[in-house]
Structure 1
């Protein structure tokens, strides 16, 4: 095996590990379940967000210099700091970390011990997270290295069984706008948000492997991305399909974790809740420890070490412990306003950065981003029941609004306005120099 091929495979599996979170497994089966016979359209939207956007996010960071700040600071340094902080809070103590604890309880503990206290379980769970994260031990990495392949084998068995002997057939569930449903549900994995944070680590690893030029880094990232995409597509696509085959079997109001338990038990029997639930629980714990350490490191550096790493680890664990007791479904609902606001901004940043060869002025980046941000803020307010009638009417008339992409035209208009401002400034400067 050549050195390049080996590095492509190693980096590809590393990318897969970064984006593959045990807590994310609850989304594809539910999407398939509510989509029924439209599951292919939903899968297309979901996989676009969960596979294509994260990989493009890493490529875009590599294109603009290899650091997260090189991407976010194109709009402005203060904006970049705020955006990175919001993303880090989202993939950290606000949503992702608490969701791992809630998922562990609902998938790993509750099916085996029906009377278990969620408060006690979360205290134990986040105490373990604290012990490992505060000491920055490598033990958890070794556990993850053993457990992730085991979890993957379990998933492939479930998917294979679900395809060969499905629980049922996909039925018409009456879902409209299946593509946009899959696209916006993909926000909940937060992979695209995390990609622009993790990209710096991926590019740094490629540099250590000897790929010094930007061209080589981008080339390796794309090839490794294909490896990662195949793995992610197989897992997410397979889970979506087996969810669709159960669309006519279980009650429509079945919770996400309950659906995954019911499907695995239906395919593999009662013993699956012990092995599969246990594997997911430990995988969630490794994710929790990794995200806690990452978030604590980020905010400690942001404070210029005025707030210590250990203090932040403690604060994150305590806060996450509290939030996790609200349960998976509530945490998902709490995340919606933040994700509806942040995702369009990150998507626009990624796309414009991929076009950085043609866009070389901050005004264009800023115009596109702020155009999307204005609309996404109002969409976010609407998602929590705060509606401003005349603004709602305008947004609803925008192209693609019914599909959930009302921010597209404002982003384009913002980019044009930025280009006009840039052109005006250039003409003024040219006149002054005469």
Structure 2
């Protein structure tokens, strides 16, 4: 086996897994918000958008399974946690976001003269109707589209970046965001939801490595770290380029999340580039929608013992209704949920990576992290906690809870 070749192939696979339409929307909008502080915010975004997902996959090299990821807290918590993850990257936020993104980037620029509400409803019905058809018929259309769309979007991104760097679009202005710019970028990286998805896909990636005859955990780590570096370099270049280009138009009037990406495409490639980029992203959203709907339908059909078809229909109808709300509204709704869910996911990933056996550590760390995160979302005063003013009030309490868990011996 050619290890170098296998590592490169796995690296490209990891890149494709994390590279989606949503990853193109948030970096330029972050750049617009932070302006001159694009680099520090970009580092924070990179850590949550790339670092955490790779760590999520790495957590499964200890021989763990999805059923055991949070099992040391309790079996019920593990089921509840995974169900919440699937709802978040499914019908609550990620799936409706694909429909909204398709409308705002692919449909609205073409038919802007028609009433936007009516157009949005028609677009949502068509988008999720096609999604449901492909999900129920197990069509390979989305796989074929994915193989063609990713290279096309990458080429368009490269052109946007080159033209944007050679001909600056403007001068970055001071950030409109108060507080720590690094933490702002870090928390904005939650919106990619890649770390949450990595928990669900981690087992699949590790099983793929095992199918090549690589069963030793240390060797699996070697492959994952090497391929992870390849994926991280690719994603990092895209993220930092888009954040920097977004900072160049930070002095413009307020734009929606979708409008920022389209504006960059139009300013660098003209109207034709704007339309091509929007349509490609919209088509890419369809492949994502089909994949996520399949995942949701499979999970809930087994969990609730109902038919796969019924779950798929309900998921598409619910997502279609929510998609009409609009992309920015969906993003705003997702923020409080992600502020609670991400810290829990981060500590679970770390506990699994370091192969902590003590169940008390899991229970105490999760409990304290959950309490602090909920308090933050409820706008309770947590400023007395170290790092709270930087946006990370849960870190120090989680570390203290871990220490307490290590001291308390598990009863046999």
Structure 2 length normalisation: TM-score?
A: 0.96
For residue 184 of structure 1, what is the aligned residue in structure 2?
A: 187
Rounded Cα–Cα distance in structure 2 between residues aligned with 1:139 and 1:266: 32
Superposition CA RMSD, Å: 1.4
User: Is it true that 1:366 corresponds to 2:363 in the alignment?
Assistant: yes
Rounded Cα–Cα distance in structure 2 between residues aligned with 1:173 and 1:313: 43
Aligned to 1:403, which of 382, 385, 390?
390
Q: How do residues 90-169 of structure 1 correspond to structure 2 at under 5 angstroms? A: 90-114=88-112, 115=114, 117-169=119-171
For residue 46 of structure 1, what is the aligned residue in structure 2?
A: 45
**Following TM superposition, by how much is the alpha carbon of 1:419 offset from its aligned partner in structure 2, in angstroms?**
2.2
Show CA shifts across 1:386-430 (max 9, x none): xxxxxx33x11100001110011221222223223326x4xxx6x
Provide the secondary structure at the position in 2 that maps to 1:270.
helix
Rounded Cα–Cα distance in structure 2 between residues aligned with 1:135 and 1:209: 30
Q: How do residues 236-251 of structure 1 correspond to structure 2 at under 5 angstroms? A: 236-248=239-251, 250-251=252-253
- Please say if residues 108 and 273 of structure 1, whose CA atoms lie closer than 8 Å, have aligned partners that are also in contact: no
The runs of 5 or more residues in structure 2 that have no matched partner are: none
For residue 323 of structure 1, what is the aligned residue in structure 2?
A: 322
**Following TM superposition, by how much is the alpha carbon of 1:381 offset from its aligned partner in structure 2, in angstroms?**
2.4
Provide the secondary structure at the position in 1 that maps to 2:36.
coil
Rounded Cα–Cα distance in structure 2 between residues aligned with 1:353 and 1:323: 35
State the number of aligned residues. Answer: 407
Rounded Cα–Cα distance in structure 1 between residues aligned with 2:250 and 2:275: 25
Provide the secondary structure at the position in 2 that maps to 1:209.
coil
Flag as ranges the 4+ runs of structure 1 deviating above 3 A.
Answer: none
Provide the secondary structure at the position in 1 that maps to 2:409.
helix
Question: Larger Rg: 1 or 2?
Answer: 1
Rounded Cα–Cα distance in structure 2 between residues aligned with 1:270 and 1:120: 24
**Following TM superposition, by how much is the alpha carbon of 1:174 offset from its aligned partner in structure 2, in angstroms?**
4.6
For residue 278 of structure 2, what is the aligned residue in structure 1?
A: 277
**Following TM superposition, by how much is the alpha carbon of 1:118 offset from its aligned partner in structure 2, in angstroms?**
0.3
- Please say if residues 375 and 406 of structure 1, whose CA atoms lie closer than 8 Å, have aligned partners that are also in contact: yes
User: Is it true that 1:230 corresponds to 2:233 in the alignment?
Assistant: yes
Rounded Cα–Cα distance in structure 2 between residues aligned with 1:201 and 1:22: 22
Rounded Cα–Cα distance in structure 2 between residues aligned with 1:215 and 1:245: 44
- Please say if residues 336 and 380 of structure 1, whose CA atoms lie closer than 8 Å, have aligned partners that are also in contact: no
Rounded Cα–Cα distance in structure 2 between residues aligned with 1:112 and 1:174: 31
The runs of 5 or more residues in structure 1 that have no matched partner are: 383-391, 430-434
Show CA shifts across 1:340-396 (max 9, x none): 11100011111222222xx321111211111111111122223xxxxxxxxx33x11
Rounded Cα–Cα distance in structure 2 between residues aligned with 1:300 and 1:15: 28
